[in-house]
Copies of this chain bind each other. A is one copy, B any other.
């Protein structure tokens, strides 16, 4: 990575209008505070929940309370309360720039429009980061490190408001990605909310599965269902707030399920194969690292004894090959103390890695 247009850790910390007020001290709000405090910004915290507020302040995310003037308000409350929180901030702090960090962007924008308050100072945003844990205790100054952060301007937004929200993302270590609120909501419906629901549909079937059936579980099942472990109460709000975008996708899914059911009865029917092909084609469209299309990659499998230190030894040995590891995953033997590590590397370097690791005594295959 090089070039002046690339945001990098070497750039000076962006200037933010201060002080900053964070409304809502859950996982994301507290993490924003911690990230900004790292750069010395003056951060204030507000929350209806006195325990969360005290915890966030104790962690060093900012000071509890409200100063006389505020330069930037970050609304970090759950989706159901987001519109009201943004409108309230715009009214109470009539010189401040206001953003929010919610998972859906048209709903709060519409709430501001409907309220008749000053739209020009509001620019929504959405850091593409989270955790299966929640609350201020789960927060971290580096939660957004290396993540995309959607910034969603609208026609009436002041340019300095847009720049301020971009600067907030950069100050938190994230990379701003600019798009409209409508585009954002359509995008996350496709790349986040619908996939979440498909994971839920797969995982929900397991509740009635006999325990012995689950002994055949492999990495595929774990990957497909992992996100379904997220907080159901929060996801109910996210899905409901993006209902308009999700409805069309879910209608398409229902049509596909009907086609699958019809195709099951007739192995020669073209629908089943065509749908499987569309799925495979879809996976190839997901960008890989650095926003570029996924290059041709290969998986190298290595059997690793399930003991502390063995991974370190593996990666030290892999490092000697000079091959860059793009991704990796560990699968587990259901009955033996051996882990199977999948190392994803560029297709052109896989043979080199296999040769190198084999020479160092590892059990390796592609």
Q: Determine if B204 and A275 form an interchain contact, defined as CB atoms under 8 angstroms apart.
A: yes
Residue of B nearest to A235 (CB): B276
Asked if A18 is an interface residue, CB under 8 A from chain B, the answer is no
Q: Determine if B282 and A332 form an interchain contact, defined as CB atoms under 8 angstroms apart.
A: no
A56 to chain B, nearest CB (A): 15
- Stretch in A91-99, A153-161, A318-326 touching the partner: A318-326
Q: Determine if B196 and A220 form an interchain contact, defined as CB atoms under 8 angstroms apart.
A: yes
Q: Determine if A339 and B289 form an interchain contact, defined as CB atoms under 8 angstroms apart.
A: yes
Q: Determine if B209 and A290 form an interchain contact, defined as CB atoms under 8 angstroms apart.
A: no
Q: Determine if A331 and B146 form an interchain contact, defined as CB atoms under 8 angstroms apart.
A: yes
Asked if A6 is an interface residue, CB under 8 A from chain B, the answer is yes
Q: Determine if B195 and A333 form an interchain contact, defined as CB atoms under 8 angstroms apart.
A: no
Total copies of the chain: 2
Given contacts A187-B212, A264-B247, A283-B225, contact A218 B148 (CB under 8 A): yes
**Interfacial chain B residues near A183, Cβ < 8 Å:** 210, 212-213
Give the complex CA separation of A212 and B190 in angstroms: 12
Q: Determine if A303 and B143 form an interchain contact, defined as CB atoms under 8 angstroms apart.
A: no
Asked if A361 is an interface residue, CB under 8 A from chain B, the answer is no
Given contacts A284-B229, A336-B1, contact A221 B202 (CB under 8 A): no
With beta carbons under 8 angstroms apart, the residue of B141, B309, B340 that contacts A147 is B340
**Interfacial chain B residues near A284, Cβ < 8 Å:** 229
Q: Determine if A232 and B277 form an interchain contact, defined as CB atoms under 8 angstroms apart.
A: yes
Asked if A295 is an interface residue, CB under 8 A from chain B, the answer is no
**Interfacial chain B residues near A301, Cβ < 8 Å:** 140, 142-143, 145
With beta carbons under 8 angstroms apart, the residue of B173, B260, B286 that contacts A222 is B286
With beta carbons under 8 angstroms apart, the residue of B229, B338, B339 that contacts A280 is B229
Asked if A115 is an interface residue, CB under 8 A from chain B, the answer is no
A167 to chain B, nearest CB (A): 15
**Interfacial chain B residues near A131, Cβ < 8 Å:** 299, 366
Q: Determine if B250 and A215 form an interchain contact, defined as CB atoms under 8 angstroms apart.
A: no
Asked if A175 is an interface residue, CB under 8 A from chain B, the answer is yes
Residues 95-125 of A at the B interface (beta carbon under 8 Å): none
**Interfacial chain B residues near A226, Cβ < 8 Å:** 220, 223-224, 283
Q: Determine if A191 and B175 form an interchain contact, defined as CB atoms under 8 angstroms apart.
A: no
Asked if A54 is an interface residue, CB under 8 A from chain B, the answer is no
Asked if A273 is an interface residue, CB under 8 A from chain B, the answer is yes
Give the complex CA separation of A275 and B204 in angstroms: 7
Q: Determine if A285 and B221 form an interchain contact, defined as CB atoms under 8 angstroms apart.
A: no
Q: Determine if A272 and B240 form an interchain contact, defined as CB atoms under 8 angstroms apart.
A: yes
Asked if A179 is an interface residue, CB under 8 A from chain B, the answer is yes
Give the complex CA separation of A313 and B319 in angstroms: 9
Q: Determine if A221 and B192 form an interchain contact, defined as CB atoms under 8 angstroms apart.
A: yes
Given contacts A190-B206, A191-B218, contact A264 B243 (CB under 8 A): yes
